[in-house]
Structure 1
């Protein structure tokens, strides 16, 4: 927890719901701002007064995209702390305003359903494997600030939250200037999209189990895919087949491959060659599209 109003509200709500002796808090110091160490001390002192166990976690942030690197390092450190503390759940204080900002940013980037499902209510953290829960996604920032204010606590204010060199800060300012846009309805739409995405994931897993079979021929290992589902589900299955054959493909790559295959053209992605065809399923009395996936043959040297 950072000491901002969001995380402090989560601390107060968790303490009220579970009792101080069943709650623990962690603050991650990324070493990116000189004020961070003092903020961690502020949180530690507050937790001490509330009777809540607290630990400060120091992480190193890699080069490149600072925000993405910091996020990855933060979640990995929190996951390790969660395991060492033998905690029952790991919670963060993302709220409806965060969700609305995320959805608008991803709409602007042309994201598909996975991206538009926004900040997930629960998710598995890469590199850790545990589950992270976000119980405040239906709460607005204003509601959380009131909880902290009513408790007589002055929260930390992170200046980077208003630094408009970051897209999120610009979207945040835009939303604050609109009297016709409300964060909760936008966040509710992201929640509905999350439901839709989970349905696609479920059907994609079912598609893999029922419509993909090994297909070893003279070219070696491969798969046959009986493509008989909507495009959104087939894209997920294509990505999984490519991964099983040792390649990688984005959803955009898989979507373009689907379109080619649906039209009867070969496709190549992630080092995998896909050849479309049809096959008569005598038992069912139908003819189905079947796409054969195999590693691309090595290119002839000149």
Structure 2
């Protein structure tokens, strides 16, 4: 589906969209991140004209940060429907964790939601509407923040984030905001004006409204110069990432969720810091300042690989750096709190009246309980009579600290805290954030630890069928 281009802005926008479309298979669907602002409105309108409505999917994220958020959702749905485009939306909760700005938290929540919507619909390409002015503002912000090469590299025209399901593409990255606004005016598009974009208390808005207009007057080519700076930084960063991947092969433990303390400390400071930055990106953590990373490495060197790191005081983006049994990892919580006892984030309780279902999906835990038939006379001591699972409602709950269970079949054996059992079995803290399965008010099963024998009856009907409970984590997609 094409349309005759009649104006310079029309030709530029359609050409940019057409180029991105030409790199995709002929039947590939395209998801467009659609906020309803002028930029994403232009991108969606042009995508429909070039690719056809049937290949497009408009995705909207409702942050709830503005009093107008519901009206924006309605506008976006109507805009998409008018063009015959499938529309989907998701509401998100924006984290208010200490050390993370609302802007950064909203951005993180938005991308997680967009990627999840793409994955659930089998769409492998996500188009974003950032343009040349956005790119220039990003480079300036990173320069002013003293960012490293990864920050100066700014926004790539196309990339697939680690663990993401959809490749992110920015078809309009080389076009100016003014060109998009011209296109929107010529097409008589209606768009949303987010009132927060005028608030110059936000750094990006201050640059947009007060700095870049002056640069345009005195340095009219500054956007191209900053784009070249971003390209040079991206090239240099790729080399650093290649080196970090070599070091990760030696230092990575538990599929990259931890680093070997020995292997990390064997590197010189520059190389160790490069590895830590790369590792944090693979974990989805926001970048830390050079001062904070330098302090972390200094403390790790002081405690040595043999130390347990109880004195580490490094907090970042709602996480604390921990050292345990020769491993270094990030744990949810604050370093002033005891490791792993109360730092895990609580999730909403889920309940199930079990009627012999084989699976119980828990999206908030990114995993599934599997109830596998084990027959009438199982040999596995960790099976449970089916009648036990039906005596009350099952519930999946977060740890709150202090929970106890008995893993021994001996009735007179003492119960022990989950924390002690996890430590005894050498289970690192980042694996302990698991749902506890209760039957009524009794703790029944803990992933990685097994069945709480104290919750089982002394006598079991010989004809009662048994079930083995298995906890299976999702593949990491975000």
The reply to whether residue 121 of structure 1 matches residue 121 of structure 2 is no
CA contact (8 A) 1:57 1:77 kept: yes
The question of 1:59 aligning with 2:99 is answered no
Q: Identify the range of structure 1 (29-38 vs 116-125) with the bigger mean alpha-carbon deviation.
A: 116-125
- Whether the 8 Å contact between 2:124 and 2:165 is mirrored in structure 1 is no
Pick the aligned partner of 1:193 from 205, 215, 233: 233
2:61 to 24, 28, 31: 28
Match of 1:273 in 2: 301
Q: Deviations over 1:223-252 (max 9, x none)?
A: 387759xx7655323667999xxxxx9562
SS of residue paired to 1:120: coil
Structure in which a larger fraction of residues adopt helix = 1
Partner residue of 2:148? Answer: 112
Cα deviation digits, residues 123-147 of structure 1 (max 9, x gap): 5558856543323221211122222
Match runs of 1:5-16 below 5 Å: 5-16=38-49
Q: Please list every run of 5 or more consecutive structure 1 residues that lacks an aligned counterpart in the other structure.
A: 215-219, 244-248, 259-266, 276-292
8 A contact 1:212–1:226 mirrored in 2: no
1:140 aligned residue: 176
Separation in 2, partners of 1:58, 1:151: 30
Pairing 1:1-302 to 2, within 5 Å after superposition: 1-64=34-97, 65-123=101-159, 130-173=166-209, 174-178=211-215, 179=217, 180-181=219-220, 182-209=222-249, 222-223=262-263, 233=271, 235-237=273-275, 250=288, 252=290, 256=294, 268-269=298-299, 272-273=300-301, 294-296=305-307
Q: Secondary structure at the match of 1:12?
A: helix
> How many pairs align?
260
Q: Distance in 1 between matches of 2:309 and 2:146?
A: 35
1:281 aligns with: none
- Give the TM-score normalised by structure 2: 0.48
Query: What is the distance in 1 between the residues matched to 2:310 and 2:113?
Result: 44
C-alpha contact 2:265 2:301 (8 A) present in aligned 1: no
- Aligned CA distance change for structure 1 residues 185 and 13 (closer, same or farther; 3 Å): farther
Structure number with greater CO (CA < 8 Å, separation at least 6) is 1
Identify which range, 39-48 or 181-190, moves more after superposition.
181-190
Query: 2: distance between equivalents of 1:28 and 1:238?
Result: 31
Q: CA deviation at 1:172?
A: 0.7
| Offset, 1:150 | 2.2
Structure-1 separation of matches of 2:293 and 2:109: 31
Q: Using the TM superposition, give the Cα deviation of residue 89 of structure 1 relative to its aligned residue in structure 2, in angstroms.
A: 0.8
Larger radius of gyration: 2
> Is the 1:28–1:57 Cα contact (8 Å) retained in structure 2?
yes
Taking the aligned partners of 2:272 and 2:132, their CA distance within structure 1 comes to: 32
Cα deviation, residue 119, structure 1: 2.4
Distance 1:196 1:299, change over 3 A: closer
**Does the residue aligned with 1:55 lie in a helix, a strand or coil?**
strand
**Residues 62 and 92, structure 2, Cα contact 8 Å, conserved in 1:** yes
- Give the match for residue 373 of structure 2: none
Contact kept in structure 1, 2:64 and 2:92, CA below 8 Å: yes
Q: Aligned residue for 1:286?
A: none
Q: Distance in 2 between matches of 1:63 and 1:298?
A: 27
Q: 1:223 to 1:241 in 2, by over 3 A?
A: farther
Q: Per the alignment, in what secondary structure is the counterpart of residue 301 of structure 2?
A: strand
Instruction: Name the SS for the 2:171 alignment partner.
Output: coil
Q: Distance in 2 between matches of 1:52 and 1:190?
A: 34
Label 1:299 to 1:109 Cα distance change in 2 as closer, same or farther (>3 A): closer
Q: Name the CA shift for 1:138/1:232 in 2 (closer, same or farther; >3 Å).
A: farther
